[in-house]
Amino acid sequence: MARFEPLPTVRFAEGELRIIDQTLLPGRYEILSLTTVDAVCDAIRLLRVRGAPALGIAGAYGLLVAISEGGGGNLRDRVDDAARRIAATRPTAVNLGWALGRMLIASRTGDVSDLGAVLEREAHAILAEDLAMSEAMTSHGATLIADGDAVLTHCNTGGLCSGGGGTALGAVFAAAADGRSVRVFADETRPLLQGARLTAWECAQRDVPVTVLVEGAAASLLSSGNVASVFVGADRIAANGDVANKVGTLGLAILARRAGVPFYVVAPSSTIDSAIPDGAHIPIEHRGDDEVIRFGGIATAPSGVDAYNPAFDVTPADLVDAIVTERGVHRFPYQFTGKR
Amino acid sequence: MARFEPLPTVRFAEGELRIIDQTLLPGRYEILSLTTVDAVCDAIRLLRVRGAPALGIAGAYGLLVAISEGGGGNLRDRVDDAARRIAATRPTAVNLGWALGRMLIASRTGDVSDLGAVLEREAHAILAEDLAMSEAMTSHGATLIADGDAVLTHCNTGGLCSGGGGTALGAVFAAAADGRSVRVFADETRPLLQGARLTAWECAQRDVPVTVLVEGAAASLLSSGNVASVFVGADRIAANGDVANKVGTLGLAILARRAGVPFYVVAPSSTIDSAIPDGAHIPIEHRGDDEVIRFGGIATAPSGVDAYNPAFDVTPADLVDAIVTERGVHRFPYQFTGKR
């Protein structure tokens, strides 16, 4: 039994992939039904569903959509083709490729007539494992949070980034569920404002006090002595513990170290890509200029001006005081080897 | 003769204070006429005019508005009262108080019948000195910029922040006017986007290539090795060289130091407050939540969520490789004493 009720971030029923449309929050809470692989790819690309663990689950269920969608040709080919298309939507999130790979391996077992049932079982297992991993990793993470702590966080790492239980922000909710008084400082997280929109929304839903700040204010906040720890998630972790996460994470880690504030990463072990020796080998997705130089349809910069818009950055392992997975609290130096 | 044409950021003519309305840029370039002290205070408070040197000039001319506005009572009292009201609009910018103090000292000379002429002369002198100081400090600053350099900057420190010649960004324009190939990376500078809106606009006006980034991307940009130097302005500098500037500056300074990128402050010596021993004594203005949690009238966070919104932060002097004023390039350690 989870310590707190997971959100229905990504679910599958009646041949449909149902997601909370995260682009509409906090103004509107709406469940979006995706019935074609195109719609699944678009939803991922447009960040209607985002967060490494949630992407893995959405990708897995996306293959069930490929089956229920119907269409010509060989069923296995259709599933393989859907996996290729979905995998190409977001290059940095390792969970997406990991979940799709796991689904394809499952698809090779048994007869093609069982394919739908086999894949459905596998996708449900991925969701169930994600919820169990969230429960475990947020419990481990909560041990790093004391009564009265203020936690600074970046982007959204609550239930919305996963099957519903969350990673880093989930650890704060687990501490709150354990009865500790906690508060959250949420970086607004430009350009897409996942902190202001999603993290603040989740905190408000769970009655955890939350204060939003622009990324530029994090340095003065950290140096004020009012922050006990920084908690962030991860999109991919290299074997040496280098962490790729939402752009802005590296800056926070450097500022936290200078301020003497511990910096923690909470992520499922499926985020660890032990085939990648260090962060220099992690591909970084660069996104379009408009995310930076337009806001709600309004140009914030003169036309013709371009933008530098990497979606992620890489934090070197030595700036990360602990990496928390469902297996426990790992301390620097890290050595993640072997299969996940 | 200035190396590049100053902008008409703050001017006075026919009893009116005329400013470029910076809240309308980059969408619209419009000169706003202010004919009452209330309008001057509102324009400062709403950041229609902003930037420490520009605020000093606007404040000085604001006292001429107090005279041309008319009204009852003693003329000197009216001027004194206007000075008090204008000074209270923005507590951190030392130039505002400095210019107003200088105007009040001038107002005590000669007969009250000469008051208008005396104050007009003094205000014009403040503008003329500002333009000359910009010319000098941007020339000194330009010596720190080599051909081919990419300069990262924060907020707006071009002609719009001053009488028209600028401070830190002006140094980039001076280097460009000297024929050196330069490019600008502009932090968008949340919450008010002075970088995206104003710095990018000024660069585009002067054909200097500019790329906008969110503050969260500065760490990865600096660690990429593609930035030669960081140039920022200052709102107040303590005697020991601690620098109060737009929130986000401290973070940039810490990141630049870690990346081995030199960090320069360009500001007129009127920004130096030698009565303040160090940055801990600089009052920091905190602004309203709505700047952070609303954008263009749209809520970006759920209702009821509050914001941490300091307008400035303080960068310790040891992170500042040089402070450039109209007098030259000062290197750490700093010891600013005596009268400005």
CB < 8 Å to B292, chain A:
188, 196, 212-214
* Annotation says A235 is catalytic: yes
pLDDT of B334 > 70? The answer is yes
Over residues A150-177, the pLDDT tens digits come to 999 999 999 999 999 999 999 999 999 9
Handedness of CA A206, A207, A208, A214 (dihedral sign): positive
> Distance between CA B16 and CA A132 in Å, rounded?
68
| A280 interfaces chain B, CB cutoff of 8 Å | no
Q: How far is A266 from chain B (nearest CA, A)?
A: 20
Q: Do B250 and A189 make contact, defined as CB atoms within 8 angstroms? A: no
d(CA A93, CA A204): 27
Does domain B10-134 match CATH 1.20.1250.20? no
Query: What confidence category does residue B338 fall into, taking pLDDT thresholds of 50, 70 and 90?
Result: low
Per-residue pLDDT band at B110 (split at 50, 70, 90): confident
Low-confidence stretches of chain A (pLDDT < 70) are 1-2, 338-340
Domain spanning A140-331: CATH superfamily: Translation initiation factor eif-2b; domain 2 (3.40.50.10470)
Find the range with the poorest average confidence among A246-250, B221-225, B239-243, B282-286: B282-286
Q: DSSP states of A76-103 as a string? A: HHHHHHHHHHHHTS-SS-HHHHHHHHHH
The residue whose two tokens read 């004493």 is B337
Position B4 confidence tier, pLDDT thresholds 50, 70, 90 = confident
The pLDDT of residue B2: 62
Q: What is the pLDDT of residues A27-58, one digit of tens each?
A: 999 999 999 999 999 999 999 999 888 999 99
Q: Is the pLDDT of residue B315 over 90?
A: yes
Residue type, position B312, single letter = F
Q: Which has the closest alpha carbon to B47: B81, B22, B10?
A: B22
Give me the residues of A, 300-339, that contact B with CB < 8 A.
300-302, 304-310, 313-314
Distances (CA, A) of B137 to A229, B73, B150: 41, 42, 19
Alpha-carbon distance of A18 to A314, in angstroms, equals 32
Cα distances from B37 to residues A129, B61, B75, B89, B122, in angstroms, run: 65, 10, 14, 12, 18
Query: What pLDDT does residue A337 have?
Result: 80
- Chain B residues inside the 8 Å CB shell of A302: 26, 200-201, 204
Contact A250 B220 (CB under 8 A): yes
Query: Of the listed B235, B242, B273, B313, which one is catalytic?
Result: B235
- Give A-chain residues touching B210 at CB under 8 angstroms: 305
Q: Kindly identify which residue of chain A lies nearest to residue B250, measuring between CA atoms.
A: A219
A260: Cβ contacts below 8 Å, ≥ 6 apart: none
Question: What is the interface pTM, i.e. ipTM, of the complex?
Answer: 0.92
Is A219 touching B (CB cutoff 8 A)?
yes
B243 touches chain A (CB under 8 A): no
Cβ–Cβ gap B309/A214 under 8 Å:
yes
In sequence order, which residues have a C-beta less than 8 Å from that of residue B215 and are 6 or more positions away? A190, A214, A215, A216, A248, A251, B187, B188, B189, B190, B248, B251
CA-based nearest residue to A230, from A263, A198, A201: A263
Residue in B199, B176, B212 with CA at minimum distance from that of residue B246: B199
Q: Which residues of B touch A247 (CB under 8 A)?
A: 214, 216-217, 220
- The string of pLDDT tens digits covering residues A130-140 is 999 999 999 99
Domain extents for chain B?
A: 10-134, 140-331
pLDDT higher than 70, residue B124: yes
**Size of the A and B interface in Cβ pairs below 8 Å:** 183
B52 vs B220, residue with greater confidence: B220
Counting every residue written for chain B, the total comes to 340
Dihedral of the CA atoms A91, A95, A96, A102 (nearest 10)?
130
State the pLDDT at residue B94.
80
Chain Cα centroid distance, residue A49: 9
Q: Please report which confidence band the pLDDT of residue B289 belongs to, taking 50, 70 and 90 as the band edges.
A: very high
Instruction: Round to whole Å and give the CA distance between B238 and B247.
Output: 17
Closest residue in A to B216 (Cα–Cα): A248
pLDDT at B297 over 80: no
**Contacts with A188 from chain B: Cβ below 8 Å:** 190, 292, 300-301
Interface contact A220-B190, CB threshold 8 A:
no
Determine the pLDDT at residue B8. Answer: 97
CB-CB under 8 Å, A305 with B213: no
Q: Measure Cα distances from A52 to B19, B199, B275, B292 in Å.
A: 48, 35, 52, 27
- Residue A276 token pair: 């990648």
Which candidate, B286, B297, B18, places its Cα nearest to that of B164? B18
- Among B214, B263, B284, B303, most A C-beta atoms within 10 A, so best to mutate, is B214
B263 vs A119, B23, B178, B249, CA distance in Å?
Answer: 55, 28, 22, 10
* Across A204-213, A272-281, B91-100, B241-250, least confident range: B91-100
The DSSP line for B194-259 is: HIIIIIHHHHHHTT--EEEE-GGGHHHHHHTT---EEEE--SEEETT--EEEETTHHHHHHHHHHH
Q: What is the mean pLDDT of chain A?
A: 94
- pLDDT of the residue at B298: 84
Question: Which residue in chain B has the smallest CA separation from A198?
Answer: B301
The one catalytic residue among A187, A235, A273, A313: A235
Within 10 A of B241 (CB to CB), how many other CB atoms are there?
25
Residues of A in contact with B313 (CB under 8 A): 216-217, 219-220
